[in-house]
Amino acid sequence: MKNIKRNKITNIAIFYTIVMGLFQFSDKMFGVSYMLVLNDQGLSVRMIGFLVGFQEFVLLIVDYPSGVISDYIGRKKVAGISLILYGVGLLIFAISSNIPSYFLAFALLAISMAMFSGSPQSWFYDTMVKLDVLSEREKLMPKMSGVVSGFSIVSTFIATWLIYKSIFWPLYLGAIVSVISGLAFLFVFEDNKGKLENDNIISVIKEFTKSFFSDGRMRSMVVFEMMNYTSYSVFILVWQLCLMNKYNLEEKYVTFVFIALMFALMVGNFLSGLVLKITSLFNTTYFGKGLIVFSLVILLVFDNMWFTIASFILFDIGLSISGTTISIWKNDYISSNNRATYYSAISSVQSIFSIVVTVLIGILVNKIGYSIAWIIAIVFEIGSILGLAYFIRIYSNMKEIEYY
């Protein structure tokens, strides 16, 4: 019986990894090209900051209720619909030619990302719980994350080749792949959802909001996630612009740096699995975050393009190590009944913080330079380390894993 369950979770894990890999494929098609497109259109760092801030604002509005809906009607179903919608957003971005249409594209991308946020992860994690194979997570998940990063690398190579033809072609391909993966996620394998006591979705949102903010574990996790996400969002906003505008690196060479960063993420995924063999999940998270802080310090100390690129690579290795382990241990503290809702609630609060910081970064970089972005990222990354230390000290033994 145990072998049957392991074989089943292996098949589900393969399917989940492929679909998540296809999402990463589409997302990286967008990631490689969107800043090139906006820069080619002559948009300033300030306007790009406003666009990204607007995306975070829409994400904030939609994220929380989308998590409730995911637990309400089915996590896999919502994830499939979101992937289709993401493809539509990429298509609109590709054909946009003015500021209003870019705002529309970013709005659709934000809505789809809000729906996707936490839904597939909640589905897979609770599938492991249902099959009673949760003990396999530390073996499976780092490897799965590594394979997903492999999809990112492949997509980056393809995007780099396509960019030589047109900076818009990666967006078209990403849209097609996203729609196909969404359809697959809709119709393959059994769905799961939360056990909600109330059939009225508005009442569910009210009840959950009250329980969420009265839970000290969640309040502590929110603070940690805000700091963690803000540091990452600063990096994502700035790194390509820094290479193109500060060091005058040509767009085609920026894509090669992007490929190196994808390799770094994959290396980090597999390194996390090795480190987990000798220490705990929390200590591995600390290790990854230590690498991030070190990389940001290098960016401040050395004003050189090659040191900058090396620091970007080290940042992504640390990001991958910490991100992989965080995705494992935080699920231990979230109820199975509303796992997707918890993901979305945390993400919503993250977005509030990120909106302000992203818009502020765009303004400050224009006036002061890129060093201010690295300083802000260091402050928030250290804040996340302190937040994690507090969470571990107070709540590490208060896990909530439900078996059914």
pLDDT digits (tens, 9 = 90+) for 144-197: 877 887 787 788 788 878 888 888 888 999 999 999 999 988 888 888 776 655
Per residue in 74-101, pLDDT tens?
Answer: 888 888 999 999 999 999 998 887 888 8
Tell me the C-alpha distance between 380 and 63, whole Å. 22
Confidence check: pLDDT of 1 > 80? no
When divided into structural domains, the chain yields a total of: 1
Give the angle subtended at the CA of 358 by the CAs of 354 and 42, to the nearest 5°: 145
Confidence check: pLDDT of 69 > 70? yes
Assigned domain for 334 exists: yes
User: With 0-12 CB in 10 A as exposed, 13-18 as middle and 19+ as buried, what is 102?
Assistant: buried
Q: Cα–Cα distances in Å, from 277 out to 141, 220, 290, 316, 331?
A: 13, 27, 19, 21, 20
In this prediction, residue 402 has a pLDDT band, given cuts at 50, 70 and 90, of very low
User: What burial letters (b/e) apply to 209-241, b meaning 16+ CB within 10 Å?
Assistant: eeebeebebbebbbbbbbbbbbbbbbbebbbbb
Q: Which residue has the higher pLDDT, 272 or 35?
A: 272
Is 220 within 8 Å of 349 (Cβ atoms)? Answer: no
Is 231 within 8 Å of 377 (Cβ atoms)? Answer: yes
Assigned domain for 403 exists: no
Assigned domain for 210 exists: yes
State the alpha helices, DSSP H only, in 242-304. Answer: 251-276, 281-301
Average pLDDT value for residue range 257-274 = 84
Assigned domain for 402 exists: no
Assigned domain for 76 exists: yes
Assigned domain for 44 exists: yes
CATH of the domain at 324: 1.20.1250.20
Full residue range of the structural domain in which residue 247 is found:
2-395
Average pLDDT value for residue range 374-383 = 90
Q: Cα–Cα distances in Å, from 279 out to 213, 269, 284, 319?
A: 32, 15, 7, 18
Assigned domain for 404 exists: no
Is 259 within 8 Å of 311 (Cβ atoms)? Answer: no
What pLDDT is stored for residue 346 in this prediction?
74
In this prediction, residue 403 has a pLDDT band, given cuts at 50, 70 and 90, of very low
What pLDDT is stored for residue 302 in this prediction?
86
What pLDDT is stored for residue 91 in this prediction?
92
Assigned domain for 184 exists: yes
Is 404 within 8 Å of 336 (Cβ atoms)? Answer: yes
Mean pLDDT, the chain, as a whole number? 82
Q: Which of 77, 57, 171, 175 is closest to 119 using CA atoms?
A: 77
What pLDDT is stored for residue 337 in this prediction?
66
Residues 6+ apart with CB under 8 A from 228: 322, 326, 380, 381, 384, 387
- CA atoms within 13 Å, Cβ hemisphere of 43: 23
